[in-house]
């Protein structure tokens, strides 16, 4: 039987090789997985032209995935440096790489990335439009915007952020609301500006069916961008954000009707006490579609440490049901991240995702912690380092401060609780 997309196959009762691969990795029943793909509650972003892909699933009952943002900009346009970052991100077990390139040889970078990356690749065509078309924003036509989407799909991009929910009604809310930080989404701000400059409807909203045609042809998952995500805690859960979310719910159903897989993007900056409610609201209004959160950052005052503010919010969001975390680095709001910034962001995001997976009861999540706890009980430092989320750092810390006795550390020495309990329970003398 023929099928166009993973969702189309799932609705027909077909189990694809991508579904089989995801089910094996996640330790879930492939028949259940297929049903959830058919319902739109799980997405398997897998462009037909991304031949190096190791498929991953995002959604209900699966492990929380993390995304890493990379790419070249006008001020930092070293493609080779970004390729090195991509390879390191994959080594650090990132599930997705989002190419946010907005200057220079964007297509060269994107195609190289897709050629070797086993991780799913995402892009924001809106970022690429001005540079690729070599035109001022105001003079780009709706057809030209769609041509950029088509080019990304042809190149093999697995999921694309499309800010289709920012229609003229939503834009009106933004102007009425007088937000503290207005629109902080780069793609959203460009579209808002284009709409205002041309007095026209958002082309991705007006010609949404044409966007879906492209996505269906290449099996691109549409990641419905939240142009009105809050850019500060003060703006969280306001009318602009919620109005756009309602539109995104409508667009989700339209995509599913065309067998196009959907991920819905979410906040942003948000106080701790609003996160769980926002996840529940998104899942309700967007009919259980996978939820991709950009943080959320739980305070606005920690530049240089925003990987921590993001990990706190991300853990809460994922435990409440969010499925996909976008990493944030210590350099957020300040500069393009370095290799070390990227590593810190990935590790922080992976910690948040794993903590949430334990809370959600994801198969196998608790097993990893139990293995670590057993290694601690056995005072097996080599095993602890091997099991750690960042063996390089934990091994470095151990080597930098070696104890007198190998079965202790320099914190407790012979007063190690694990050593004391192990001896006394074995009927041995305790020599402090």
Tally of CA atoms within 13 A in the half-sphere of 135 that contains its CB: 12
Please give the annotated binding residues, written as ranges: 69, 98, 127, 163, 185-187, 226-229, 265, 269, 292, 333, 409, 412, 416
Please give the annotated binding residues for Zn(2+), written as ranges: 269, 333
Please give the annotated binding residues for [4Fe-4S] cluster, written as ranges: 409, 412, 416
Question: Using N-to-C axis directions, what is the helix angle for 106-116 and 142-155, rounded to 10°?
Answer: 30
Q: What is the DSSP string of 128-158?
A: HHHHHHTS-GGG--HHHHHHHHHHHHHHT-S
Any alpha helices (H) in 320-338, and if so which ranges? Answer: none
Sign of the alpha-carbon torsion through 14, 20, 26, 29? positive
* Cα(241)–Cα(229) distance, integer angstroms: 6
From the number of C-beta atoms within 10 Å of its C-beta (0-12, 13-18, 19+), residue 81 rates as middle
Sign of the alpha-carbon torsion through 186, 232, 76, 116? negative
230: which 2 tokens? 């809050």
- Please list, residue by residue across 124-154, b when 16 or more beta carbons sit within 10 angstroms of its beta carbon and e when fewer do: bbbbbbbbbbeeeeeebebeebbbbbbbbbe
Please give the backbone phi and psi of residue 251, each rounded to the nearest 5 degrees, phi first.
-70, -30
Please give the annotated binding residues for substrate, written as ranges: 69, 98, 127, 163, 185-187, 226-229, 265, 292
Centroid of chain to Cα 380: 34
């Amino acid at each position: 039987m023929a099928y166009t997309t993973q969702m189309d196959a799932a609705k027909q009762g077909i189990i694809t090789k991508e579904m089989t691969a995801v089910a094996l990795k996640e330790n879930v029943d492939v028949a259940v997985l297929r049903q959830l793909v058919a319902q739109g509650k799980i997405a398997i972003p897998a462009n037909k032209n991304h031949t190096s892909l190791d498929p991953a699933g995002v959604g209900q009952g699966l492990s929380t995935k993390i995304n890493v943002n990379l790419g070249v900009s006008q001020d930092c346009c070293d493609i080779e440096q970004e390729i090195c970052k991509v390879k390191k991100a994959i080594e650090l077990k990132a599930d997705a790489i989002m190419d946010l390139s907005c200057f220079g040889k964007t297509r060269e970078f994107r195609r190289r990335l897709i050629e070797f990356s086993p991780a799913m690749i995402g892009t924001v065509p809106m970022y690429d439009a001005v540079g690729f078309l070599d035109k001022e924003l105001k003079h780009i036509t709706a057809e030209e915007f769609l041509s950029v989407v088509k080019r990304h799909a042809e190149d093999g991009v697995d999921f694309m952020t499309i800010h289709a929910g920012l229609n003229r009604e939503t834009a009106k809310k933004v102007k009425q609301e007088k937000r503290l930080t207005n629109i902080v989404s780069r793609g959203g701000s460009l579209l808002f500006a284009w709409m205002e400059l041309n007095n026209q409807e958002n082309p991705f909203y007006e010609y949404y069916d044409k966007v879906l045609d492209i996505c269906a042809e290449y099996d691109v998952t549409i990641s419905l961008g939240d142009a009105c995500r809050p850019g500060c805690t003060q703006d969280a859960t306001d009318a602009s954000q919620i109005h756009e979310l309602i539109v995104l719910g409508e667009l989700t159903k339209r995509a599913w009707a065309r067998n196009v897989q959907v991920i819905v993007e979410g906040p942003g900056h948000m106080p701790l006490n609003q996160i769980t409610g926002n996840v529940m609201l998104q899942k309700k209004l967007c009919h259980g579609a996978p939820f991709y959160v950009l943080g959320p950052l739980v305070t606005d005052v920690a530049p240089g440490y925003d990987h921590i503010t993001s990990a706190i919010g991300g853990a809460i969001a994922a435990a409440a049901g969010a499925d996909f975390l976008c990493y944030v680095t210590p350099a957020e709001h300040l500069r393009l991240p370095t290799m070390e910034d990227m590593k810190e962001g990935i590790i922080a995001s992976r910690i948040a995702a794993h903590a949430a997976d334990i809370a959600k009861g994801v198969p196998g999540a608790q097993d990893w912690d139990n293995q670590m706890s057993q290694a601690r009980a056995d005072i097996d430092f080599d095993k602890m380092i091997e099991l750690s989320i960042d063996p390089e750092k934990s091994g470095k810390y151990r080597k930098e401060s070696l104890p007198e006795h190998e079965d202790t550390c320099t914190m407790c020495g012979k007063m190690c609780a694990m050593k004391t309990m192990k001896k006394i329970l074995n009927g041995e003398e305790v020599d402090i």
